[in-house]
A and B are shown apart, each in its own frame.
Chain A
Amino acid sequence: MNTNEVVTALAKSRDMSKTETRQLLDVILQTFNDHLARGQSFTVPGLGTFSTHTREPRRSYNPHYKQYIMLPPKRVIDFSPSKGLKEGLKQAETEDE
């Protein structure tokens, strides 16, 4: 499912025009991005928690060149799905079986 399909579905359920939906969604995602860039974590109910953490610098090995390299620290995004999302999927799984 790509963005277009999501927007189409959203526009249908919200009874809005697609352009409007798209604009609104963009603003929302932009807000998400801004908060993550600032290192703030937030929870979207039903979806999950977005947060960031800093990955410590670490030693690594390139087996191809047989070289040891030092990886710099990095800030990455964590996503932990909310319980609802997980459970819904579990149920879907069991229903399948």
Chain B
Amino acid sequence: MSEKITFQELIDSIADQTNKPKQFTYDFLKDFVEIVNSGLESDGTISIAGFGKFKLRPMDEREGYNPQTGEKFTIPAHNKVVFKPYKALRELVNAPYKHLEAELLDETTHKEHPPVTQKSDDSAPASSPLSDPDKGEQPALDEKQGKAPWEQPAEESEESHNSLRSDDDQSREVEFSDDDIVEFSPDIKITNYEKLKSSGSSSEGGSRRYDPDELRQMAASYSLQRYRQHKRRVKRRILLATAACFVLLLSVGIWHFGTSTKEGSFDLMKVDFFKTAVDTHEVSSPIPGNSDPSAPDIQIRGSEPVANSNTGRESLRPASTKQVITKGQTLWSLAGQQYNNPYLWPWIYDVNKTSLRNPDLILAGQTLAIPLPHGHNGDLSTNDSLQVAMGYIETYRWYKNHGYSKAKYYLYAARLYNGDIFDYTDVIIDDSDLTFANRAR
């Protein structure tokens, strides 16, 4: 990959920069090399600022051979010159890969390299029994590898791996100690293999001597059992997941059924509502028998019709659920849960404004009515968005009355949900807020 530069080119480029004759540069370099050479001989190290360090590294005498003749000979002890570039130079050279960092590999990645395990597994049954230290090491090797070959077919999640390990740690315990202690005591090996043997139900228990075939069989049955155990676990998990899916589907079905029946009566309801809305607005004749106990004291002149229309539609509309507030919930989070759109929270506030004195405060243990949207797939119908707009108007009023400057944004949002909302309400709206809100399309 690296392209070569001749010494001549090197001299040329140096001479260019120094404005010195090439011959001079050449001589200078030659002297420099000589000094480095002599410095190495006298000192053993030469450090050159901005470049690196030349160092002598003693090499021991070693055996070598001539690759052409195959003849062996000894390489005498000598010193080797090594060059260690300084950090600045190292970083300069590594600039193209500077942004890369070492990344941590999780267990799953090194599971992809089972050949070592495979090998030890194969060699173990073939070698002679008990006395062979290799055999004692076999499980320990598996342990280190973190992955035994028979676990391969199962899903590779670390969780399953851990649970498997914890499950049969009775037999694994021995291996752990094996791994930690390094030297092998014969006892451990024996218990290990007796376990192996007892777990292998297919192998006969009578014989004292372990011939390789038997051992292989034992190992196989041992692994088979472990594999079965794991498989059972995975099966159970799959069963659980299926059950959860089923329950989910069932609940979705019920919900869908519920909404579809509501939709049937929706058209009628909508007409009714509009009628009441128009009635109350234009004539401001309250619906008979509608004594609104909710009408809050803070309501100002002319807000009654709105309240009336509210109660009117509430009586018509069964589509709301009750929910008890738990700690940590907010109207925002409730709306997010219910409609997948937290911005609809003023709707909930509007419906519950009798019990809520403050749109920013709900208490744990309170029961709130959560209105349900009537459109398809949980979308808002025109009616719904009008109600949301109403909710925003209510929120606006509360914020305005309490001197919040953010009130105008709620007016703006109200207009977003229903363009004609200002015709339906007679909440006193500040002129400047109105101009701000009218910018909404």
Q: Which A residues lie at the B interface, using CB under 8 A?
A: 1-3, 5-6, 9-10, 13-14, 24-33, 35-37, 39-48, 50-54, 59-60, 67-77, 79, 81, 85-86, 88-90, 92-93
Q: Tell me, in angstroms, the Cα distance from A5 to B39 when the chains sit together.
A: 9
Pair A13/B31 contact, Cβ less than 8 Å: yes
Q: Does B198 reach chain A (CB closer than 8 Å)? A: no
B34-65 residues with Cβ-Cβ distance < 8 A to A are 34-37, 39-43, 45-52, 56
Interface contact A51-B89, CB-CB below 8 Å: no
Q: Given contacts A13-B31, A24-B20, are A69 and B105 in contact (CB under 8 A)?
A: yes
Nearest B residue (CB) for A22: B49
Residues of A within 8 A of B40 (CB): 85, 89
- Per a CB cutoff under 8 Å, which of B5, B47, B51, B104 touches A41? B5
Q: Does B66 interact with chain A (Cβ within 8 Å)?
A: no
Which of B93-101, B244-252, B265-273, B400-408 contacts its partner? B93-101
B2, A32: Cβ atoms closer than 8 Å: no
Assess the B82–A70 pair: CB atoms within 8 A. no
Known A6-B46, A41-B4, A72-B100: A92·B41 in contact at CB below 8 Å: yes
Residue numbers in B under 8 Å from A74 (CB-CB): 94, 97
Flag if B35 contacts A13 (CB, 8 Å).
Answer: yes
> Can you show 25 pairs from A to B with CB atoms below 8 A apart?
A3-B48, A6-B32, A9-B35, A10-B31, A27-B17, A27-B18, A28-B28, A33-B50, A33-B92, A39-B2, A39-B3, A40-B5, A41-B4, A44-B10, A47-B37, A67-B104, A68-B109, A69-B103, A72-B103, A73-B100, A76-B94, A79-B81, A89-B56, A89-B81, A93-B77
Q: Which of A27, A67, A86 has the most CB of B within 10 A?
A: A27
By a CB distance below 8 angstroms, the chain A residues around B49 are 2-3
Do residues A42 and B5 form an inter-chain contact, with CB atoms below 8 A?
A: yes
Extra A-B contacts (12), CB below 8 Å, given A39-B2, A52-B93 = A24-B20, A41-B3, A42-B4, A47-B37, A48-B83, A53-B1, A69-B104, A70-B102, A72-B101, A74-B94, A75-B94, A86-B80
Nearest CB to that of B82 among chain A residues? A79
